[in-house]
Chains A and B, each alone.
Chain A
Amino acid sequence: MTLKVALAKRLGSFLLDVDFELPTPGVAALFGPSGCGKSTTINIIAGLLAADRGEVALDGTVLLDSRRQIDIAAERRRIGYVFQDARLFPHLSVAGNLGYAQRRARAAPYVSLDQVIGLLDIAPLTRRRVHQLSGGERQRVAIARALLSQPRLLLLDEPLAALDWARREEILPYLETLRDRLSIPMIYVSHQFSEVSRLATHIVLMQAGRVVEQGDIGRMSVSPKLRAMVGPEEIGAVIDGAVIDHDASSGLTRVRVGDGEIRVQSAGLGQGERLRVHLLARDVIVSTQPAQHLSVRNQLCGVVSAVDDDGASADLVSIDIGSGASILARVTKAATRELELRAGQRAWALIKSVSLRSHSFPRRARPLEHSR
């Protein structure tokens, strides 16, 4: 099942010309700098903006095809939209807003009111008026409202951009829950890689109205084209690992990553469960020999596939760790020279800390340097 999008639109001197195909269900991030056409793209997908020409088809249903003169009205597309500014109706209560969507749903419900209220934890808010909600609460209600219209696709336009850091941390776990519990396809517009690395299964990289590159999150997270848009502090491989086992006495969970494995401090995950890890390039050390006598416990063996300048006077070393997975390590230019790092060379990546990106563990896991 796929979402196929091919659009062109001219807005003054700006030309949007995008073409991508996404697997559904899944969370696709439209990622790129402000003004690159991300919002315009999803507004056309939603039907709120007319394209000059284009095609939008979701799982075989054609929503827009300018050549065949098909253009389903926005209100009939069954596409949910969560706006950056929530856009709750101020003359209705929270319950009134939810009911508004529920009454107009154009399909048999696949999520009930109770389910949605539970998923987003908004039971205590339903009787409030909209202006009595905090920014984070507003956004949760807006997500709930969009879901209650029983959409077949959910668009989220930088839903966290207007919130401060603490509020973002409050909302992100809910979005992860939606991704994991409802199999509704989502397109998530963002220019924050920290959000994308947690939510997305797929990235469409955009710049100046065009798609630069697209692919699944693992491959895209190490793509050289992404580096230009993600700062050196945030760049790093995102890998969906599988849990091997959990040792209750030490609290450590073994996770398969590429052909190797790492141990992370985490609980509550059973064998085979997926656990997303973000291995920041600045937290990875490269050795040309297996490292011993070190406090760092997580070590992955692989083959160097590329060494590139990272644009901030250091080098980024890509290491293929097998099974199609790669990780990035940031090393100084002097180290590259002295270790004679180059493609094809065997290398060991030592991981100082692991950022867990699972819905049950939204925060950064403790580094393992001092454990036993």
Chain B
Amino acid sequence: MMGLTHGESEALLLSLSVAWRSLLISLPPAVGFAWLLTRRRFVGRTLLDALVHLPIVLPPVAVGYVLLLLFGTRGFIGAWLEHWFGIVLVFTRNGAALATAVMTFPVMVRAIRISLENVDRGLEDAARTLGAHPLDRFATITVPLMLPGLLAGAIMAFSAALGEFGAVITFVSNIPGQTRTLPLALYSALQEPGGEHSAARLAVLSVLLGLTGLLLSEWFARRVRRLLGR
């Protein structure tokens, strides 16, 4: 594929798959946390805010290690998941997605929060007087109005997910076809003698993917804004 070796194209497809799964995992809780942090006033809000942002300041390796402790086969959650659902996360693609989701979570929450803050509460009040109950208002007014920010945030998080390295390699290791995503393949290529060409191709690929994500996110945001007449 496009002059890529089997291992390289495998890493590319795996990266896309992991990023996609990570998005699915993180989007619903990200919306929930963004809602809590923007709309609710409660004790411990500042602490929660800090916790959400923790992955930004922690070494990714540390995040991977914590995940290993919690979700490993002997970990508190990991053992439970395996016992009841037969879900194993260590050394799997889904594990890579989880590690990526945790790392990109702050980016997501941040983007969603900004878009939520821009939603005119007056419009929700208007929907209220028209008979819309809370969930109805959220689904029909709040979400559509925050869609530009939501989509831009999702695309951004997806792009960032493609490049997650430290947490992934610590939590799920570097197994070709299972957990060897683009950055891991790039790292492996650099470790092998004569792997410079492969590394260069993978690096160019990463740049292209990242750039596409950023441009797409901007283009989308602009398009939706125009649709709303702003």
Which positions in A face B, CB cutoff 8 Å?
46-48, 73-76, 78-81, 83, 85, 87, 89-91, 100-101, 104-106, 129-132, 145-146, 149
In B111-161, which residues have CB < 8 Å from any A CB?
120, 122-123, 125-133, 136, 140-141, 144-145, 147
Query: What is the minimal beta-carbon distance from B149 to any residue of chain A, in angstroms?
Result: 13
Contact in complex: B129, A74 (CB < 8 Å): yes
Q: Which of B126, B136, B145, B230 contacts A83 (CB 8 A)?
A: B126
Contact in complex: A100, B127 (CB < 8 Å): yes
Contact in complex: B229, A131 (CB < 8 Å): yes
B228 in the interface (beta carbon within 8 A):
yes
Provided the pairs A74-B129, A146-B129, A149-B130 are in contact, do residues A90 and B145 lie with their beta carbons within 8 angstroms? Answer: yes
Per the bound structure, the CA–CA distance linking A75 and B120 in Å amounts to 18
Provided the pairs A90-B145, A91-B145, A131-B229 are in contact, do residues A85 and B122 lie with their beta carbons within 8 angstroms? Answer: yes
Provided the pairs A85-B122, A91-B144 are in contact, do residues A131 and B228 lie with their beta carbons within 8 angstroms? Answer: yes
Q: Which of B126, B147, B227, B228 contacts A87 (CB 8 A)?
A: B126
Residues of chain B within 8 A of A145, CB atoms compared: 130
Contact in complex: A75, B125 (CB < 8 Å): no
Query: What is the minimal beta-carbon distance from B229 to any residue of chain A, in angstroms?
Result: 3
- Nearest A-chain residue to B226, judged by Cβ: A131
Contact in complex: B228, A76 (CB < 8 Å): no
Per the bound structure, the CA–CA distance linking A106 and B128 in Å amounts to 12
Q: Which of B122, B123, B132, B227 contacts A104 (CB 8 A)?
A: B132
Q: Which of A80, A87, A101 contacts B123 (CB 8 A)?
A: A87
Contact in complex: A48, B129 (CB < 8 Å): yes
Residues of chain B within 8 A of A100, CB atoms compared: 127, 130, 132, 140
Where chain A touches its partner, the secondary structure class is mixed
In B18-76, which residues have CB < 8 Å from any A CB?
none
Residues of chain A within 8 A of B229, CB atoms compared: 90, 129-132
Contact in complex: B131, A104 (CB < 8 Å): yes
Query: What is the minimal beta-carbon distance from A245 to any residue of chain B, in angstroms?
Result: 45
Contacts A83-B126, A130-B229 given; 11 further ones with Cβ under 8 A?
Answer: A47-B128, A48-B129, A73-B133, A75-B131, A80-B129, A90-B228, A90-B230, A91-B144, A100-B132, A104-B132, A131-B229
Pick the most buried of B130, B140, B227: most chain A CB atoms within 10 A of its CB.
Answer: B130
Which positions in B face A, CB cutoff 8 Å?
120, 122-123, 125-133, 136, 140-141, 144-145, 147, 227-230
Residues of chain B within 8 A of A46, CB atoms compared: 129
Per the bound structure, the CA–CA distance linking A199 and B197 in Å amounts to 81
Q: Which of B123, B128, B141 contacts A75 (CB 8 A)?
A: B128
- Nearest A-chain residue to B145, judged by Cβ: A91
Residues of chain B within 8 A of A89, CB atoms compared: 123, 126-127, 141
Pick the most buried of B131, B144, B147: most chain A CB atoms within 10 A of its CB.
Answer: B131
Residues of chain A within 8 A of B136, CB atoms compared: 104
Query: What is the minimal beta-carbon distance from B39 to any residue of chain A, in angstroms?
Result: 16
Residues of chain A within 8 A of B147, CB atoms compared: 91
Residues of chain A within 8 A of B126, CB atoms compared: 81, 83, 87, 89
Contact in complex: A91, B228 (CB < 8 Å): yes
Residues of chain B within 8 A of A130, CB atoms compared: 229
Residues of chain B within 8 A of A83, CB atoms compared: 122, 126
Per the bound structure, the CA–CA distance linking A146 and B128 in Å amounts to 11
Residues of chain A within 8 A of B141, CB atoms compared: 89
Provided the pairs A89-B141, A91-B144, A129-B229 are in contact, do residues A76 and B131 lie with their beta carbons within 8 angstroms? Answer: yes
Per the bound structure, the CA–CA distance linking A365 and B133 in Å amounts to 48
- Nearest B-chain residue to A80, judged by Cβ: B129
A-B residue pairs, 4 tightest by C-beta: A131-B229, A104-B131, A81-B129, A87-B126
Query: What is the minimal beta-carbon distance from B46 to any residue of chain A, in angstroms?
Result: 25
- Nearest B-chain residue to A148, judged by Cβ: B130
Provided the pairs A87-B122, A87-B123, A90-B145 are in contact, do residues A149 and B228 lie with their beta carbons within 8 angstroms? Answer: no
Contact in complex: B128, A74 (CB < 8 Å): yes
